[in-house]
Each structure stands twice: as C-alpha cells, then as structure tokens.
Chains A and B, each alone.
Chain A
Amino acid sequence: MTAVVIPNGLRAHCEGCARVEVEAVSVRGVLAALEARFPGFGAALGENVAVAIDGEVFQDPLYEAVAPESELHFLPALSGGR
C-alpha cells in the first residue's frame, strides 16, 4: 500500500487523516483512490499540485509511478510569484 501524507490544509477533506494508505500504481491512481474514499478531495486539492514520491519532487506528476512501499507528499506547486 502506498502511503500518502495529507497536508494540514487538506485534512478536513479526508476525515482529519494525516496519513492514508492506498493501492495504486501511479499518482493518477492515488488521486482516484483518495477521491473514491473521500469524495471532493480532488476538488479541494485543485490543479497544479506537485508531489514528492520517496523524496523526489515532481511538478507535473499525474502519470508518475508509485510502488507499494512508496511515500507520497502533496506539495503546493511553486508559482514563483508569477
């Protein structure tokens, strides 16, 4: 099961969980699993979200692979003040 660390600002959208485990092989699958378990989570997450998978940051992560032992963090996408 891939471990997903939920940032404080999103915990209200997943029953207060700080850490959720999901079965998925890609970030897209992680998002689908979270949405299935917590309807509305995807909308709360919004577009332009970056993730860190096992410490590696991906700015455009939808199709990146995750492993059962992976840990995934959601990060705010760096807008750089643009």
Chain B
Amino acid sequence: MAEDRKYRWVGTRPIRHDGVDKVTGRANYGADFALPGMLWGKILRSPHAHARILRIDTSRAEAMEGVKAVATAADLPEQRPGGATDLSNNILARDKVLYHGHAVAAVAAITAEIAAQALDEIEIEYEALAPVLSLDAALADDAPILDTARRARGMDDTGPTNIAARVDFSRGEPDQAFASCDVVLERSYETQTVHQGYIEPHACVADTKADGLVEIWCSTQGTFTVRSLTADVLGLDKSRVKVTPSEIGGGFGGKTTVYLEPVAALLSRQSGRPVKMVMSRDEVFRATGPAAASRIELKVGATQQGQLVAATARLWMEAGAFPGSPVQAAAMTILAPYKLDHLFIEGFDVVVTKPKVAAYRAPGAPQAAFAMESLLDELAQQLKIDPIDLRLANAVAAGDQLPYGPRYKTIGMKETLEAARDHPHYSAPLGENQGRGIALGFWFNNGLNSSAEVYLTEDGTAVVVTGNPDIGGSRASMAILCAEELGIDVMKVRPIVADTETAGYTDVTGGSRVTFATGWAVVNACRVIIEDLRRRAAQIWECDLEQVAFDDGRCLPVEGSGLSHDPLSVAEIARKMGSTGGPINGQAQLSARGAGPGFATHLCDVEVDPETGHVDVIRYTAIQDAGRAIHPAYVEGQMQGGAVQGIGWALNEEYLFDDEGRMENASFLDYRMPVASDLPMIDTVIVEVPNPIHPYGVRGVGETPIVPPLAAVANAVKHASGVRMQSLPISPPRLLAALQEQAAE
C-alpha cells in the first residue's frame, strides 16, 4: 500500500549517479567495447523488398584473405513449431526476403573494410516479387501474399491472407445506440511508419568460447531478453549465454529485441574469435523495427449535451514483414479513457514488405489517441462545448470498466484534465494564424518480473544491483528508494546495472515498469536489510527484537520498551557486521502487479504559415499523473521527451519508399526529427495521484507522454488554420495542399 509519510529523498533531484561519466564522454556505449583478437562482422542485405531466394553462393567470400567466417540462415538451427521462427528469419532470411534491407548473409573478417568487400563477393540469385507497401496493397483481393501458409488468428479460415490476426472487444448494442444519438461523427485517420530515432545505433560484441558458451556485450533495453532470444535462435540453453549491457543511447522500445547478437555469436563460433558488429544509421532505418503505420475508422455518437453514448472503431496496423503489430494494444486503448455503454472495437494485424515493427513508447496508443482525440475535438467544436469539459464529462473513474474487461482502480485522469483547464497556458491569448489543441493520453503501464540485491558495505554505504539497463535515469531512482528506506545519503548509494549472471532474472526495461517494479524490488530488498539491522541491534543491546525500532537510518529502542540505549546508525551496525552475524545483504524478487495506468493531458499552441504550410509549435505544456515522482527531474524528462517525439510524429516523420520498396530517406538529414532549435521549452506539470498498490505510490511514466501529442498538434493546427488533418504527418507540403484545397472550396 502506498504509504503517506514525509520523505527525505523521494521527490528530490540529486545528480544522476552515471552523470559524470556521461558529460565527460567516458561512458562506454555499445560501439565502444572491444576485445583482443576481435573480428568485424558485416551484414549483406536484400536489394529487394520482396523476393524468393533461389541460390546463395558464399565461396568467393570465404576464400578471401582476412575473411574468417561467413554465415547464412542455413547455419542456424531449424525452429520447432511455435519457436522463434519469425525472429530467426528476420535476422537471417531463409527462403524469402520480405523487405529492402532484410539480412541475408553475414561475414566476419579481420577488418571492417575486408568484411564489407567480402559482402560484394557473395552471389545471391533472387526471384523478385511484387512489394506490398501499404495496408491497401496488403488487403487487396489480388494482393501478393507474404506467407501463403499463414492463416489469420481470430478469424474463420480465410485462406492465404496478409491479415495475421484479428481482435475485437464489445459492450452493449452500439448500432442501436447510434440511432438514439443527437450527433454521430464518423471519420478515418492515418499515420505513417516512423522510427524511434535513438541516437545510438545497435552494436554488440559476441564471443563464443571453445566450449560453446556465448558472451555478449551490447546496447539493449533487456539483457535477459537478449539472452533468451539469442539462445532461442541458436538452439542453446539460456544458461549458456551471458549478456553484459553497455550504457544505452536511447531505445524507446526499439532495443527490446535482437538483430545482431545471434549473428555475431554465430560468426564467433565459426571463427573462434570475438566478433563486433555495429549498424550504420542507414541500417538502423532500413532493418530495425519502426512503429506501425495505421488506419483507423472511428464512429462516435453523443447527446447534444455532450454525453458519449456509443462508439465503434476499426483499426488496421502494419506489422511489417512478420506478424506482431501493436494493434491489440491500440484496440484496448482507443476508447479506454471514456465512459461508453455501447462499443465495438475490431483490430487487424497486417503484414507488409517493410521492416518488422518493434515497440515504440506505448505501442499502438499514439495512433489510437490521434483518432479518438481528434474526433472528440471535432465533436466539442460541433457541440460548442469546451474540449476539456467534454472530456471531463465523459472521463472514467475508479470502478469503471475498461473495454477489455478489468475495472479501473485509483486513477488520475480527471486530475490531469483539471490541471490543464486551470493552467495559465489554457487561457493565454493567441495571435493571428495561431491555434491551441488539447489531447488526452492513456497507457496501461506494466509490472512483470524484477529482482534486486542490496549490499551494505562495512562503512554503511550501499550498492544496489539490478538488471534493468538504465534508459531514463532509473539508477537514480533505485538509489533514491534505497536511501529513503535505509535512511542514508543518496550519494552514498551506488546503483549498478549488472549482467545476466550477476543480477537475478529481470524483465526488459520497457512498459514503463522499472521504477515501479524494479524499484519495488529494491524497497523489499532494503526491508530485508532493515529487519537484519534490527536483529543485530537487539543482539548488541541484548534485548528482544520487538524492543527495537528502525527509523530514518537508525535502530532505536521502541518507545515504552524500558531501554535507554543511544540509537545505532546503519553505519555503526555495518561496522560491527563481522561480530553480529556477517555480511549484511538484502535480496528480493517479485512479479509486480497493480501497475497503475498513466494519464496525461497535453496543451499545444501552434502558428501556421499559410504561405508555406509550415507549422511552428510555439508553446507546449505536458501534464501527467506520475503517481508519485521519485526523481521529478527524470519524470519531467520523460514527459518532455515523449512530447517531442510525438510532435515529430505529428509534423514531419515518415518513412518514404519508392515503388520498389526502397526507403528513400534513411538518414537523419532526410528523416526529419525535431531538434532543440525547432521547439519551445516543453513545460511540465506533474500530477500525483498515488498508485495505492505500490509502497511509494509509483506509476510508470515513460510511455504515456507520447500518446497525446499527435492529436494535440493536429487539433492546434485545425484551430490555427481551419484545416483538420486526419492523415499524418502534417508536413508543409501536405498542409499547404490542404490549405489550398480549403481556399478553393
């Protein structure tokens, strides 16, 4: 249960424990690691978006001076049914290539240059097939089928299809309910393929020993995930793979799977030497997992007073080359924030000849919220109701049922809306060609499995060991929670992220779960230590355990116990560890439940240049319920980062393909992400509605902030220009065309 007490460290902003290394350039990222005798690995990638592989001849490459290993899918074990078939086929194509840039073969050589030259010596004969580059193309009656053996899950036998799965949720009788509505809006929305844009490319070193043990150093969001997936692809026991994380230069969900690691391990096994692989930016764009393009058809009915009555939503999301778009999550989130007695939601997972999508902050929710929050803005305008009031009037609260079954517990949705309504930004005047948009975002957040060890040193300082790579400042939060529990200075706590043989099993850094779940494990590990400290104090004082209390870093006699000892600090007891029972360590593990959902409300002001279609974001405020902010600066950082990524998604970002399925903008010069000079300061307001399940009231915060911006920007553009953009991005040429169309009407 969340505890209501005054905190010494929780809610403060100490400098991050890994900060000095990072600002002085000493931190080691994925590409920094090296081993003696190391080879360089390179990947040969498909020049076709869709083709059958007829023949691969690697003999000339193998004969080259300096080449030590060449690998293709034939060197990987066949997967059992239900195994890692798609993953294996994604990292080295077996029979077909399914996107331009799909890995086909790999080489390890004594230099990167020789490895690159060797790729040119590999002969591959393809039978080119028609690419499938959009939902329309994939769903057409005569669409080329990516996998003729696949059948759609959740549908009656469809025969060969590019629909990989269908999901639906329903409540009430929406079709009948629409008939009773005063107003019904029905709209269609589209978003394009976008990339997470992490600044650090994928990189790893793998060393397969003579006895078959595999050791991997890499940049990842999940060392245990890399261990598991690499073992699956290579057919190894998981205990035969050790993974050590580097510092990570961004992931945002995109580093929750593997691309290079099993291939590097395979090349290392073949060559008997460590193999290093580093992707270029071009490879990151072409061959790692972006976020799914989507189309959503949404129908919402309401009363004249603004009460939502019924809604239906049909969602299609591109999975890329293999099944697994986030359409389920999109379907689960799209109507989740609003009370609706009648609803029907149907989602389709669709394969296309593009890179397999990966997670990207709140997967599926930004696309879903773009649709719902855009439509609600239009509804508010039509009903002449303030858009925040409309949302407040229909907001879910504790006890309300989600479209997919569970009921909400304590949530902070209304509180973020009220904070937005009361914020000076909401009533600030606007100038010519300027407009203001608001949008709401919801994300589940997740718990999953975490472990933590806390080791007390003999001077009373502490080491916290966890297994979650730190992508958002989580080490500082682990240190704060430890310091708060043990009552010691936060800078006397050393938080480390350990390898898979040092830390206990811990799920991926994702799902906004680390501060919530791993932090909870740290709290529990500290409480093991506190019990031990009390026992040792009782031993020293020769009294019963019940006569010893622990408060603010000290063991002290329980009031009324009759004892008159001076308190014993953590450090004092730690110095006596040898004479009171030995080392003082705490260990805990949990499957964390009760991750409180996150809600955010964003306010966005834009100015539209009617002559060019350029949109300038001139003011932006992100408001979010964090449950309780352990380190507010990193909560604000998450809110700002998510907002900026969402603004990029709204205004500029999209994969551009030619007719043959080749990505035309695979560089940061041509794939336009917002930079600091493009945007104003993103203001933040942290709302705290504690999660009642968690000992400190924590909710995840990392994903929710990317959910509202797409609609917040689009709504602002509508109010600035009169044009409602239902297809993203709202890039200058697209908006200019829409403005000209509006002027012509």
B-contacting residues of A (Cβ < 8 Å)? 5, 7-9, 12, 46-47, 52, 55-60, 73, 75-76, 78-82
A55 to B399, CA, bound (A): 9
Binds A, one of B129-137, B275-283, B323-331, B431-439: B323-331
A12 to B156, CA, bound (A): 9
Q: Are B409's CB and A79's CB within 8 A?
A: no
Within 8 A of A (CB), among B326-382: 326, 328-329, 332, 357-360, 363-364
A-B contact pairs, 15 of them (CB 8 A): A52-B404, A57-B593, A59-B446, A75-B405, A76-B328, A78-B446, A79-B324, A80-B256, A80-B359, A80-B363, A80-B510, A81-B253, A82-B257, A82-B324, A82-B359
Q: Are B407's CB and A55's CB within 8 A?
A: yes
Q: Does B680 contact A (CB under 8 A)?
A: no
Nearest CB in chain B: distance from A55 CB, A: 4
A16 to B289, CA, bound (A): 38
Q: Are B167's CB and A9's CB within 8 A?
A: yes
Q: Does B591 contact A (CB under 8 A)?
A: yes
Q: Does B455 contact A (CB under 8 A)?
A: no
Q: Are A79's CB and B594's CB within 8 A?
A: no
A57 to B408, CA, bound (A): 11
**Which residues from A are CB-within-8-Å of B407?**
55
Q: Are A78's CB and B444's CB within 8 A?
A: yes
Look across to chain A and name the residue whose beta carbon is closest to the beta carbon of B448. Answer: A59
A78 to B407, CA, bound (A): 18
Q: Are A46's CB and B153's CB within 8 A?
A: yes
Q: Are A78's CB and B591's CB within 8 A?
A: no
A56 to B597, CA, bound (A): 12
**Which residues from B are CB-within-8-Å of A5?**
405
User: Could you say which of B153, B406, B591 contacts A52, with CB atoms under 8 Å apart?
Assistant: B406
A7 to B407, CA, bound (A): 16
User: Could you say which of B168, B364, B511, B593 contacts A56, with CB atoms under 8 Å apart?
Assistant: B593
Look across to chain A and name the residue whose beta carbon is closest to the beta carbon of B154. Answer: A9
**Which residues from A are CB-within-8-Å of B82?**
47
A80 to B448, CA, bound (A): 13
A78 to B332, CA, bound (A): 10
**Which residues from B are CB-within-8-Å of A82?**
256-257, 324, 358-359
Nearest CB in chain A: distance from B446 CB, A: 7
Q: Does B547 contact A (CB under 8 A)?
A: no
**Which residues from B are CB-within-8-Å of A47?**
82
**Which residues from B are CB-within-8-Å of A75?**
332, 404-406
Look across to chain A and name the residue whose beta carbon is closest to the beta carbon of B323. Answer: A79
**Which residues from B are CB-within-8-Å of A55?**
406-409
Q: Are B326's CB and A79's CB within 8 A?
A: yes
**Which residues from A are CB-within-8-Å of B360?**
81
Q: Does B291 contact A (CB under 8 A)?
A: yes
Known A8-B169, A46-B153, A60-B591; judge A80-B405 contact (CB<8 A): no
Known A46-B153, A60-B591, A73-B404; judge A81-B409 contact (CB<8 A): no
A-contacting residues of B (Cβ < 8 Å)? 82, 153-154, 156, 166-170, 253, 256-257, 289, 291-292, 324-326, 328-329, 332, 357-360, 363-364, 404-409, 444, 446-448, 510-511, 591, 593-594
A55 to B169, CA, bound (A): 16
**Which residues from B are CB-within-8-Å of A60?**
591
Known A7-B169, A76-B167; judge A81-B324 contact (CB<8 A): yes
Q: Which 4 pairs between the two chains have the least Cβ-Cβ distance?
A: A73-B405, A52-B406, A81-B326, A55-B407
**Which residues from A are CB-within-8-Å of B357?**
81
Kindly list 19 other residue pairs between chains A and B, CB separation below 8 angstroms, not including A7-B168, A81-B289: A9-B166, A9-B168, A46-B153, A55-B407, A55-B408, A57-B444, A59-B446, A59-B447, A59-B448, A76-B332, A79-B324, A79-B326, A79-B328, A80-B510, A81-B253, A81-B329, A81-B360, A81-B363, A82-B358
**Which residues from B are CB-within-8-Å of A59?**
446-448
**Which residues from A are CB-within-8-Å of B168?**
7-9
**Which residues from B are CB-within-8-Å of A57?**
406, 444, 593
Nearest CB in chain A: distance from B561 CB, A: 39
Look across to chain B and name the residue whose beta carbon is closest to the beta carbon of A51. Answer: B405
Look across to chain A and name the residue whose beta carbon is closest to the beta carbon of B406. Answer: A52
Look across to chain A and name the residue whose beta carbon is closest to the beta carbon of B324. Answer: A79
**Which residues from A are CB-within-8-Å of B408?**
55
Look across to chain A and name the residue whose beta carbon is closest to the beta carbon of B292. Answer: A81
**Which residues from A are CB-within-8-Å of B170?**
8
A75 to B593, CA, bound (A): 16
Q: Are B167's CB and A81's CB within 8 A?
A: no
Nearest CB in chain B: distance from A43 CB, A: 12
Q: Are A80's CB and B291's CB within 8 A?
A: no
User: Could you say which of B328, B358, B593 contacts A78, with CB atoms under 8 Å apart?
Assistant: B328
A12 to B155, CA, bound (A): 10
Look across to chain B and name the residue whose beta carbon is closest to the beta carbon of A52. Answer: B406
Look across to chain B and name the residue whose beta carbon is closest to the beta carbon of A57. Answer: B406
**Which residues from A are CB-within-8-Å of B446?**
59, 78
Nearest CB in chain B: distance from A9 CB, A: 4
A32 to B466, CA, bound (A): 37
Known A9-B168, A56-B594; judge A81-B358 contact (CB<8 A): yes
Nearest CB in chain B: distance from A52 CB, A: 4
A5 to B402, CA, bound (A): 13
**Which residues from A are CB-within-8-Å of B364?**
81
**Which residues from A are CB-within-8-Å of B257?**
82
Look across to chain B and name the residue whose beta carbon is closest to the beta carbon of A8. Answer: B168
A73 to B403, CA, bound (A): 11
Q: Are A81's CB and B359's CB within 8 A?
A: yes
**Which residues from A are CB-within-8-Å of B447?**
59
Nearest CB in chain A: distance from B179 CB, A: 22
Q: Are A80's CB and B593's CB within 8 A?
A: no
Nearest CB in chain A: distance from B104 CB, A: 23
Nearest CB in chain A: distance from B327 CB, A: 9
A60 to B590, CA, bound (A): 13
Q: Are B253's CB and A80's CB within 8 A?
A: yes
Q: Are B169's CB and A81's CB within 8 A?
A: no
Nearest CB in chain A: distance from B607 CB, A: 34
Look across to chain B and name the residue whose beta carbon is closest to the beta carbon of A80. Answer: B359
Nearest CB in chain A: distance from B706 CB, A: 13
**Which residues from B are CB-within-8-Å of A79?**
324, 326, 328
Nearest CB in chain A: distance from B443 CB, A: 11
**Which residues from A are CB-within-8-Å of B359?**
80-82
Look across to chain B and name the residue whose beta carbon is closest to the beta carbon of A73. Answer: B405
A55 to B396, CA, bound (A): 14
Nearest CB in chain A: distance from B323 CB, A: 9
**Which residues from B are CB-within-8-Å of A8?**
168-170
User: Could you say which of A9, A46, A56, A80 contacts B406, with CB atoms under 8 Å apart?
Assistant: A56
Known A8-B169, A56-B594, A59-B446; judge A81-B325 contact (CB<8 A): yes
**Which residues from A are CB-within-8-Å of B593?**
56-58
**Which residues from A are CB-within-8-Å of B363?**
80-81
